[in-house]
Chains A and B, each alone.
Chain A
Amino acid sequence: MANEEEQKKHIYDETASLITRQLLTNRLDTKEMHFLLHLLDEIFIKCQHRPLLEDLHHWQSINQGAIDEDIKQALLNMDLGDEKSVRKTTMIIQELLKDMPETNDSQKGEMDDQRKLDL
């Protein structure tokens, strides 16, 4: 099997397991888990919602806790199977992220370390 293909499958399986494990250790609730798993399949299997994915990447690079909860709520209320709903949520997220400063490298490193500790 091509190494790249196997690597892709591995990332997919690892991510899905990580999300489900978070539920069993009470770090996510059922609704959050279902959303994240659904998003994973949409992106990995169906290769959809590229613009939304770019905005989520952008969100991760921003050091602004104040808007995190708003973005999370917008995401949880979104219907991933409905193109209109995805577009609307993407616009809301873009609006919320507008004018937010990018995180510098040392802050990013600290956030990554914290995330690893959480896992």
Chain B
Amino acid sequence: MNQPVRQAFSEDVLFDLESERRVISSMLHSEEACVEAYHLLVPSDFYSPRHATIFELTCSLFEREIRPTYVELLKEGHTLGILTNPRDIEEMKYIAEHYIDDENIRYWVKRVKDKARLRKFEAFLRRGVQILTEGGDLEADEILMSAEEELTNLTALDVDDSIDSPADVANLGYEEVERRFLQYKDIKEKYRGVLPLYGLPTGFDDLNHITLGYKPGDLVILGAQTGHGKTAFALHTARAVAVDNHSTVLYLNTEMSREQIALRWGSILSGIEHDRIRGGDINENELSLILQGYSRLRESGFYSYPCPNLTPEKTISIARKFKTQKNIDMMIVDYVGRMDKVDPRLQEWQMLEQIVKTLKMLAQNLKIVVMCLVQLNPDGSLQGAKRMKNESDLMLKLAPISRDELEENEELKKYRNPNYYLHIEKNRDGRSGVRIPIAFDMQRQIMKDAERISL
């Protein structure tokens, strides 16, 4: 019955075993290639069942945070009883020896993926022929509509994509509202009037109130001038999310060493001045306080990745790896101005625009919050700000409050020691154009909402 379709072309149009071997070999020899293939392929993309099994084993090692080297694959294969005679080893070795330049992994992945799509197309044709061969009372409209839908899924959309029907959208909308309604009621009863967060805590009560938290898929941009608290803000956020809320954060820092980042936490979690900690000028009681602080960090979900040569491609690879292995809820990039240019012909703003687009895509695909820190010009402006604003869900600026404004602005007098504004420039989900007065203790690296004076 399937003869008419199969006879029409040579079978090897439907598979490319060499590409399959090259993808697996690359996964076994390069961690970055492994991350790439892990995210772009599924076992059913491989034509050879043996290749699909090896791909699955490799992915399973990667998910368990074991670097999937050829050695680890052999160990795993032996443990699972897949390697029972020397011929099996020869077969594995043959696959492993299909070396490629690791940067070409996307090319080979695409070849594997394309063949998988062609096989789906062939299956589609076979089904069509079968329907016609069986004959009977055929409903032409129904058959063609169904074929069109199937073909559209093969051509225009990725396998995982689907179109929501009006009913799907309505159901999803109602479920979301109902869930929020019940959650709100529950939290209101439990916490008496404190607004529930739908995302991760921001570390500021007023910002929580306005945004309802950072939500998965959000790109948050924070701009500040040099020396005005970008890293302090990043670590303040990390504290709120990873230490206080026990969610998981990946912190990428392009400027600071491991020691510098670790030392900052000593100050943030103990409230002792950073200069004194750095110089060792502390007493034994303070040392004990710092130790307690680090115990909290040890129990937290904070992962740090100091990376001076960060590129957008590397960021994608690192984020995917940590999403798979640590199930991160948030990634903070401190800061994007320090990322290496991939194309030296690009202007600074073009480069920033590209990075920001990449980060937004990453946030949506991995369903995590991505926060990126950018440097403001001395006049408080940001090159390419308009484009960045378009991509971001929440755009914040951190800037000191001038002495004149502190003296003249009556509203500020209602707060105890405000010294910085957190300006909400854009908020896709709520109010923007709001300035939140905050108290930033630079020495202790601590930020908080400026306290309102009760009148």
Contact = CB atoms under 8 A, between A and B. Distances in A.
Interface stretch (A19-27, A55-63, A88-96, A98-106): A19-27
Interface stretch (A7-15, A74-82, A107-115): A7-15
A71 to B, nearest CB: 22
Contact of A17 (B29, B84, B93, B99): B93
A34 B75 contact: yes
Nearest to B95: A13
A44 to B, nearest CB: 8
A8 to B, nearest CB: 10
B163 interface: no
Contact of B71 (A21, A23, A25, A37): A37
Given A37-B74, A41-B71, A21 B99 contact: no
A12 B25 CA distance: 13
Contact of B86 (A21, A33, A41): A21
Contacts of B92: 17
B83 interface: yes
Interface string B218-237: 00000000000000000000
Contacts of B69: 41, 45
A10 B284 CA distance: 56
Contacts of B75: 34, 37
Contacts of A21: 86, 89
Contacts, number: 51
Nearest to A36: B71
Judged by DSSP, the binding face of B is helix
B83 A24 contact: yes
A10 B97 contact: yes
A23 B67 contact: no
A6 B99 contact: yes
Interface size bucket, A side? Answer: 20 to 34
Interface residues of B, number: 23
A9 B99 CA distance: 8
Interface string B51-68: 000000000000000010
Contacts of B72: 41
Interface in B77-104: 78, 83-86, 88-90, 92-93, 96-97, 99-101
A24 B85 contact: yes
A20 B97 contact: no
A16 B77 CA distance: 13
Contacts of A17: 74, 89-90, 92-93
Interface string B135-173: 000000000000000000000000000000000000000
A13 B86 contact: no
Nearest to B85: A24
Given A41-B71, A45-B69, A1 B99 contact: yes
Nearest to A6: B99
B349 interface: no
A97 interface: no
Contacts of B85: 24
Interface of B: 29, 67, 69-72, 74-75, 78, 83-86, 88-90, 92-93, 96-97, 99-101
Nearest first, the 5 A-B pairs at minimum CB distance are A17-B93, A13-B96, A37-B71, A41-B71, A20-B74
Interface of A: 1, 6, 9-10, 12-14, 16-17, 20-21, 23-25, 30, 33-34, 37-38, 40-41, 45
30 contacts: A1-B101, A6-B99, A9-B99, A10-B97, A10-B99, A12-B70, A13-B70, A13-B93, A13-B96, A14-B93, A16-B71, A17-B74, A17-B89, A17-B92, A20-B74, A20-B78, A21-B89, A24-B84, A24-B86, A24-B88, A24-B89, A30-B78, A37-B74, A37-B75, A40-B71, A41-B69, A41-B72, A45-B67, A45-B69, A45-B71
